[in-house]
A and B are shown apart, each in its own frame.
Chain A
Amino acid sequence: DAKTTQPTSMDCAEGRAANLPCNHSTISGNEYVYWYRQIHSQGPQYIIHGLKNNETNEMASLIITEDRKSSTLILPHATLRDTAVYYCIVSDPNNAGNMLTFGGGTRLMVKP
């Protein structure tokens, strides 16, 4: 599976959009991009996933570059409850057992 690179931490003002980048320059054509988040001492929560197209759901938007080497998770109006560690993961359903391998993630701090 391709590895991902994320900033260790980011700050965001409450009510503003939070844009979390992820680099996955070695991604292969079959690998999906997933985003999860983990609020302190809780289980990770699924946010969104995509393959090639941009995706949006009630929680966030996922923007994937045309070459698929990077992506951005957008929380349109961050609240204090969005403070968490955000994980960007890539995984290939046809290889490595479709396993999700978590890295260190980005610690997002939403401030009043």
Chain B
Amino acid sequence: ETGVTQTPRHLVMGMTNKKSLKCEQHLGHNAMYWYKQSAKKPLELMFVYNFKEQTENNSVPSRFSPECPNSSHLFLHLHTLQPEDSALYLCASSQSQLASGANVLTFGAGSRLTVL
């Protein structure tokens, strides 16, 4: 158990479906992140939230919609996805992205998404 829990671990959806990925952290952190990892590609940062406020949107298409109701929970709402959106979606948390000093991220195990 890493302290960052992602559900579901595997998800298969059609292009017209609406689904959500959930991330929960029990580390008392104030920053949460979504990363995408496509096959044989480096991790790509998608969104960052600090104290529930979005501080980074890395030019992500609007078919991905993040939600952060509190510092412990982060969602990624998915709708009308494309097959090329199939990837491992990773959630991470850290003490605070905005604080001085090192920013150590703790990652979840990821949600493997397949879009048919």
| Residues of A that sit less than 8 Å from B by CB | 32, 34, 36, 41-46, 49, 51, 91, 93-94, 97-105
Q: Assess the A98–B112 pair: CB atoms within 8 A.
A: no
| Residues of B that sit less than 8 Å from A by CB | 2, 4, 35, 42-43, 45, 48, 55-56, 88, 90, 92, 97-110, 112
Contacts beyond the supplied A44-B107, A46-B104: 6 A-B pairs with Cβ under 8 Å: A43-B2, A43-B90, A93-B100, A97-B55, A99-B45, A99-B97
A42's partner among B43, B55, B103, B110 (CB-CB below 8 A) is B110
- Minimum CB–CB distance for B12 against chain A, Å: 16
* Known pairs A43-B2, A44-B43, A44-B90; A98 contacts B106 (CB<8 A): no
What is the count of residue pairs linking A and B with beta-carbon distances less than 8 angstroms?
A: 62
Q: Assess the A43–B97 pair: CB atoms within 8 A.
A: no
Q: Assess the B107–A45 pair: CB atoms within 8 A.
A: yes
Interface of A is mostly: loop
A-B CB contact pairs (8 Å), 8 listed: A42-B109, A44-B92, A44-B107, A97-B98, A99-B45, A100-B45, A102-B35, A105-B42
Residues of chain A lying within 8 A (CB to CB) of residue B97? 97-99
A100 nearest CB neighbor, chain B only: B105
Q: Assess the B108–A43 pair: CB atoms within 8 A.
A: yes
Q: Assess the A43–B107 pair: CB atoms within 8 A.
A: yes
- A99, B96: Cα distance in complex, Å: 11
Q: Assess the A93–B108 pair: CB atoms within 8 A.
A: no
- A98, B109: Cα distance in complex, Å: 23
Q: Assess the B103–A104 pair: CB atoms within 8 A.
A: no
- A94, B100: Cα distance in complex, Å: 7
Q: Assess the A34–B110 pair: CB atoms within 8 A.
A: no
Q: Assess the A99–B48 pair: CB atoms within 8 A.
A: yes
- A56, B109: Cα distance in complex, Å: 25
- A18, B68: Cα distance in complex, Å: 40
- A32, B104: Cα distance in complex, Å: 10
Q: Assess the A32–B102 pair: CB atoms within 8 A.
A: yes
- A100, B98: Cα distance in complex, Å: 13
Q: Assess the A102–B42 pair: CB atoms within 8 A.
A: yes
Residues of chain B lying within 8 A (CB to CB) of residue A34? 102, 104
Residues of chain B lying within 8 A (CB to CB) of residue A103? 42
